[in-house]
């Protein structure tokens, strides 16, 4: 019988440790010996109580924070900084208050020199995906917290990264009966998401699950 080699893991974390130095208590061990693998197209949730290190872990995978020990590899290559291949939506989502919603969504493409017409198309496409097509010309201050987070998700999608890293996307509700994780899953399974995509949303375990589980 023909043997087929198993697909190599997309993301590999090996014995990741993170120590912070705090003014109040000296050294704080935020992560100890965290190891796991994520395959292409996998949707992974990191769940745990507030302060257990979920965001810290996500920042390390994103390359925004350096681990104190252990390693993170993507496709066999050590993560040593941020990359456009790894899109990130932060817990305190970082959209620009002075840019309208549509202009926020296409910030990445604009920085890459994408034409105005194409930016308009991308903004419409991703705002529709997150249910904000009617708010393209609003400013962030005119939106709710969950709507702002959906803008941040659309902004990440418009950069077309291979990996989506989202910190607590449950807080963005796409409709009265769908939670943020449904938004995240919808984004991952959208026609724009290829099988190479891997999602790592985090969620505090103290949060009430939405109707989608
Ligand atoms: N920059 C920092 N300096 C010092 N300690 C930090 C820093 N960032 C986080 N910590 C500490 O590391 C631990 C993990 O924090 P982290 O933000 O990763 O938790 P979390 O699981 O994302 O929590 P939450 O669910 O509340 O967002 C906490 O004890 C926190 O106080
Ligand atoms: Mg957090």
| Contact yes or no for 132/146 (Cβ under 8 A) | no
| Contact yes or no for 178/200 (Cβ under 8 A) | no
Q: What is the DSSP string of the chain?
A: ----PPPPPSEEEEEEEEEEEETTTEEEEEEEEEEEEE-TT-B--EEE-TTSSHHHHHHHHHTSS--SEEEEEETTEE--S--TTEEEE-TT----TTS-HHHHHTHHHHHTT--HHHHHHHHHHHHHHTT-GGGTT--GGGS-HHHHHHHHHHHHHHT--SEEEEE-GGG--SBTTB-HHHHHHHHHTSTT--TT-EEEEEEETTSPP-TT-
CATH code: domain 11-204 is 3.40.50.300
pLDDT-derived band at 199, boundaries 50, 70, 90: low
Q: Is the CB of 91 under 6 A from ligand 1?
A: yes
Q: Which two tokens stand for residue 94?
A: 């970082």
Separation of CA 28 and ligand 1 centre (Å) = 10
Nearest CA to ligand 1 atom 16: 53
Q: Is the CB of 51 under 6 A from ligand 1?
A: yes
Of the candidates 42, 29, 38, the one whose C-alpha atom is nearest the C-alpha of residue 61 is: 38
Q: Which two tokens stand for residue 112?
A: 């890459």
* 185, 191, 195, 197 alpha-carbon torsion, rounded to 10°: -50
Q: Is the CB of 20 under 6 A from ligand 1?
A: yes
pLDDT-derived band at 2, boundaries 50, 70, 90: low
Instruction: Tell me the per-residue pLDDT of 21-80, one tens digit each, with 9 for 90 and over.
Output: 988 879 999 999 999 999 988 888 898 888 899 999 999 999 999 999 999 999 999 999
Separation of CA 209 and ligand 1 centre (Å) = 22
pLDDT computed for residue 117 by the predictor: 97
pLDDT-derived band at 193, boundaries 50, 70, 90: very low
Q: Which two tokens stand for residue 3?
A: 């043997």
| pLDDT at residue 196 is higher than 60 | no
Separation of CA 157 and ligand 1 centre (Å) = 26
Separation of CA 56 and ligand 1 centre (Å) = 6
pLDDT computed for residue 144 by the predictor: 85
Cα(49)–Cα(129) distance, integer angstroms: 30
Separation of CA 54 and ligand 1 centre (Å) = 8
102-107: average pLDDT: 96
Q: How is the chain split into domains, by residue range?
A: 11-204
Phi, psi of 38 (to 5 degrees): -130, 135
| pLDDT at residue 203 is higher than 80 | no
159-169: average pLDDT: 87
Q: Is the CB of 56 under 6 A from ligand 1?
A: yes
Cα(118)–Cα(23) distance, integer angstroms: 48
Q: Quick one: which ligand is closest to 68's CA?
A: 1
Query: What mean pLDDT, rounded, does the chain reach?
Result: 82
């Amino acid at each position: 019988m023909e043997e087929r080699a198993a697909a190599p893991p997309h993301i590999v974390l090996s014995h990741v440790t993170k120590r912070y130095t705090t003014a109040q208590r000296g050294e704080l061990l935020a992560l100890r010996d965290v190891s796991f693998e994520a395959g292409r197209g996998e949707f992974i949730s990191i769940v745990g109580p507030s302060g257990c290190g979920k965001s810290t872990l996500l920042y390390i995978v994103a390359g925004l924070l350096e681990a104190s020990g252990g390693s993170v590899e993507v496709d066999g290559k050590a993560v040593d900084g941020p990359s456009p291949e790894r899109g990130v939506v932060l817990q305190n989502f970082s959209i620009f208050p002075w840019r309208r919603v549509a202009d926020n969504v296409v910030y990445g493409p604009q920085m890459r020199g994408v034409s105005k017409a194409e930016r308009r198309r991308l903004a419409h496409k991703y705002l529709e995906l997150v249910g904000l097509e009617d708010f393209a010309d609003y400013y962030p201050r005119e939106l709710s917290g969950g709507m702002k987070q959906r803008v941040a998700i659309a902004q990440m999608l418009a950069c077309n990264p291979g990996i989506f890293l989202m910190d607590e996307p449950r807080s963005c509700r796409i409709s009265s009966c769908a939670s943020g994780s449904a938004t995240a899953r919808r984004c991952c399974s959208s026609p724009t998401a290829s099988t190479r995509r891997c999602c790592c949303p985090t969620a505090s375990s103290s949060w009430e699950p939405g109707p989608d589980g």
